[in-house]
Structure 1
């Protein structure tokens, strides 16, 4: 199995779009897929329980199909930092507990490609002492970085890449997501920014998703490549 942890330069950097698009691209190649979002805040009440839009997007790209609870075992209603949402719900999150659950899920649902999406950025807290970086370290998986392409993204991307390396994990690749329609209007400067990111991040670029009027996994999948991921040794 090729399994990866997906993080972002920030909240709303485009992690779910990139994750679901990579899973969709894998499906189009006839590969089995699994998208997991162990913790999600900002969930809606439904007759079936709390449901998070990002987790639903990953569930839709998981083939063979799995239950919602498999994809997202910890869903919280308020759209706030996960550790605060968990605290308000009377739930204690820990890197060890989440990692154990994810290892069990991976054993029960082996797939050609599995992507585990974090919440927010690399240092978003899980509790008073741990953050999502600790979960990634426990899983010991290579990391895919989603870079939200907007003003300030170079600094955010480089700092995140440095933090990933400092935590002893491998940056397997990065994908860009254009967050504002006019950000890429100045093509020469936009291209120069991408070239700098490719040079400084030290990992292959999986592709750049332009600003889409109707963003979705299938539309975004055309801009991403799996070749750098599927060529690596299975995790």
Structure 2
């Protein structure tokens, strides 16, 4: 069944909002879904164990329902880079372990599986491997979340170049407005989007406006209305 790896131009680009929004979009079309966050730092201790809010968001939009450990097998309390969090916790993360967890899930009955990364494309999980290597091992097409703010064009293009250099296809990109001032000049904002559309090697699957100043943080159900699933899904 179709599966995609979701990455971002940086930490807090909006990967979880986009991933949950795409899952909600698929569910609204009657499709079964699975959202995975294999590695998550910044988890809080609960009576059920460590839990990460991003992973919980993906779990809640996975249909049929799955256990938390399916969504997030590597959970760490410190809100720091995954390889450093793993070192502090005394646990190792390897691509072999991640692939061993994720690959069998791709054979499941769900119509759409989205695997959310951590941070940007080159985030390490240990001294010699990056989390992006999971997408490479599983030959997954990539959805890029572009945090729309000053500097995003270079960040997006560099990330896209790295994705292609790793032998993967950019299935599409989604813009997420992070800085309201970036869109204050409508003509300039449109010109920035046009540059991204012209220079990124994949289609735009949607643009998420910044609504928190008026309506509170955008919810995945609201995001879903602004998004398209990749072609063929």
Q: For the superposition of Structure 1 and Structure 2, which TM-score range results when normalised by the shorter chain?
A: over 0.9
Query: How many residues in Structure 1 have an aligned counterpart in Structure 2?
Result: 229
Query: What is the match of residue 78 of structure 1?
Result: 78
Query: In 2, Cα distance between the equivalents of 1:7 and 1:119?
Result: 7
Query: What is the match of residue 227 of structure 2?
Result: 224
Q: CA deviation at 1:90?
A: 1.1
Q: CA deviation at 1:11?
A: 0.3
- Residues 86-235 of structure 1: matches in 2 within 5 Å? 86-107=86-107, 109-213=108-212, 214-226=217-229, 229-231=230-232
Deviations 1:123-170 (A, max 9, x none): 000100010121111111000000000110000000000000000000
Larger mean CA deviation between 131-140 and 68-77 belongs to: 131-140
CA contact (8 A) 1:96 1:138 kept: no
Structure 2's unaligned 5+ residue stretches are none
Could you list the structure 1 runs, at least 4 aligned residues long, displaced by more than 3 angstroms after superposition: none
Query: What is the match of residue 61 of structure 1?
Result: 61
Q: CA deviation at 1:182?
A: 2.6
- TM-score, structure 1 as length reference: 0.95
- TM-score, structure 2 as length reference: 0.96
Deviations 1:25-63 (A, max 9, x none): 000000000000000000010000000010011011100
Structure 1's unaligned 5+ residue stretches are none
Query: In 2, Cα distance between the equivalents of 1:98 and 1:222?
Result: 32
Deviations 1:176-195 (A, max 9, x none): 10012232121111111111
CA contact (8 A) 1:38 1:98 kept: yes
Query: In 1, Cα distance between the equivalents of 2:92 and 2:225?
Result: 39
Query: In 1, Cα distance between the equivalents of 2:58 and 2:3?
Result: 14
